[in-house]
Amino acid sequence: MGLTSQKLQILIAALAVVCFAAAVWLWPRLSGRSWRALLGRIGALLVSQLLTLMAIALAANNWGAFYSSWSDLLGTDQGGGAVTIGGPPVASTGSTDGPRSSVDVQGSKPVALQLPGHPGLSGGTVQQVSIHGGGTGLTEPGFVYLPPQYQDPAYAKTRFPVIVVFTGYPGNATSLITRMKYPTVAAQAIQQQQMSPTILVLMRPSVAMPRDTECQDVPGGPQAESFFTRDLRQAMASRYRAETQASGWGVIGDSTGGYCALKITMRHPEAYTVAASLSGYYKSAVDSTTGSLFGGSSRLQDENDLMWRLKNLPHPKVSLLVSSSKKGEGDYRATLAFAAAANGQTSVGTLILPEGGHNFGTWNRETPAALRWMSARLSPPLSGSSVPGPVPGTGVDSS
């Protein structure tokens, strides 16, 4: 049975109850002073508590969608494998011998609109995908949301803006659907004309689980930053009618995903021009989950400190949104300081709640406004823009 299987959760919970009842029933027989009775008491307590903890852990994992499989939990799921190009081939402007970025679509299901007065109306489609980066050799699972207009013949020659949605760390892309309901929120906003028809790419910010890469090109290690700024955009252009210009690309995330959203947009305005950070931070974490991210380079570490960038480097022409809460969030003062430090071409908006913690409930309150804010700053779907063109920053055609 899979890690997230409901049957496994029920089985372990049932075994925990049975073991507890058996321990209570057998306890009088195990009350002697012999070594066998002592071992029996220890064994009954250990098995009962272990099963109880397992049941709680499985329930917590299914609620938070932290790990999707046993291999994900154990860190043996490193991607790779055969990848199918599901669309027209990507024509390189340079050598044609190199690997190509691509998307393997593994399944799809409709998105319920869930709006009163619109029974049975489609909210679009969610596809389960595996995204392979030809440049980095990395492969990451995720989901792609296609708005209803994507299948509309009237939009057959239209390229759509794209918003990449990141989880936190460790995170699981499934939580962006089950807990934060990004496809449903987007579908409702599109139906109510509060948001342009937009493609969403939902995924984790780490491409080398269980390591937290902080979306960094690690010297001698995973090239996460290149994957998100080059490979992902190339892969989407190869499979979907996705906008190829940076003006049509945005990224949003919570916690670690929020830091990554700000970071890759500030460092790569040729790839993204809009970003939103929900309870994100402003300086890369360095701990046991990240390992050495900068190869001992203090300069590289500084360049990934977003406040340092605002104080010491030219400000890129991008739009950023940062969120926090006056009560319940530890990054409130840092968020205000970050917004105040921006000037010139970098526009920073704030979304501040009176109260809210570092959790799904707070982010669910912020998501609708953040998506509307982003959509207003991204280029709208462009009719007649299906003519192949270069994907900026990749050296690759979008044909």
pLDDT of residue 397: 44
Which residue type, as a one-letter code, is found at position 274? V
3-state helix, strand, coil in the chain (%, to 5): 40, 20, 40
pLDDT tens for each residue of 385-394: 444 445 555 4
- Pairing of β 199-203 and β 396-397: unpaired
pLDDT of residue 161: 97
Q: Are residues 331 and 276 in the same domain?
A: yes
pLDDT tens for each residue of 58-104: 777 665 545 545 654 554 444 433 222 223 333 333 333 467 999 99
Which residues, other chains included, contact 92 with Cβ-Cβ below 8 Å and sequence gap of 6+?
98, 100, 395, 396, 397
pLDDT of residue 27: 81
pLDDT tens for each residue of 236-270: 999 999 999 999 999 999 999 999 999 999 999 99
Q: Are residues 100 and 188 in the same domain?
A: yes
Q: Are residues 140 and 26 in the same domain?
A: no
Q: Are residues 345 and 390 in the same domain?
A: yes
pLDDT of residue 32: 75
pLDDT tens for each residue of 32-69: 778 877 888 888 888 888 888 888 887 776 655 455 45
The whole-chain average pLDDT of the chain stands at 85
pLDDT tens for each residue of 96-125: 346 799 999 999 999 988 787 767 788 999
Which residues, other chains included, contact 274 with Cβ-Cβ below 8 Å and sequence gap of 6+?
249, 250, 251, 265, 318, 319, 320, 374, 377, 378
pLDDT of residue 168: 93
Q: Note whether residue 346 is domain-resident.
A: yes
The answer, yes or no, to whether residue 6 has pLDDT greater than 80, is no
pLDDT of residue 314: 93
Sheet holding 347-355, edge to edge: 102-112, 122-132, 139-146, 199-203, 162-166, 249-254, 274-278, 319-327, 347-355
- Residue of 129, 130, 127 whose CA lies nearest to 79: 130
Q: How far is CA 123 from the centre of its chain?
A: 21
Q: How confident is the model at residue 395 (pLDDT cuts 50, 70, 90)?
A: very low
Q: Are residues 163 and 34 in the same domain?
A: no
The rounded distance, in Å, linking the Cα atoms of 230 and 396 is 10
The answer, yes or no, to whether residue 221 has pLDDT greater than 70, is yes
Q: Note whether residue 1 is domain-resident.
A: no
Q: Are residues 292 and 353 in the same domain?
A: yes
Burial class (CB in 10 A: 0-12, 13-18, 19+), 35: exposed
pLDDT of residue 122: 84
Q: Are residues 309 and 388 in the same domain?
A: yes
pLDDT of residue 55: 83
Over residues 264-287, the mean pLDDT reads 95
Q: Which tops the pLDDT comparison, 294 or 68? A: 294
Residues found in the chain: 399
pLDDT of residue 58: 75
Share of the chain above pLDDT 70, in %: 85
Q: Tokens 């002697």 correspond to what residue?
A: 32
pLDDT tens for each residue of 165-196: 999 998 899 999 999 999 999 999 999 999 99
CATH code of the domain in which 155 resides = 3.40.50.1820
Which residue type, as a one-letter code, is found at position 159? R
The rounded distance, in Å, linking the Cα atoms of 160 and 382 is 7
Question: What's the domain range around 202?
Answer: 81-397
Q: Are residues 25 and 106 in the same domain?
A: no
The answer, yes or no, to whether residue 3 has pLDDT greater than 80, is no
Q: Tokens 């290690």 correspond to what residue?
A: 221
Region label for 172, one of left (φ > 0), alpha (ψ between -120 and 50) or beta (otherwise) = beta
Q: Which tops the pLDDT comparison, 235 or 57? A: 235
Q: Note whether residue 372 is domain-resident.
A: yes
Q: How confident is the model at residue 374 (pLDDT cuts 50, 70, 90)?
A: very high
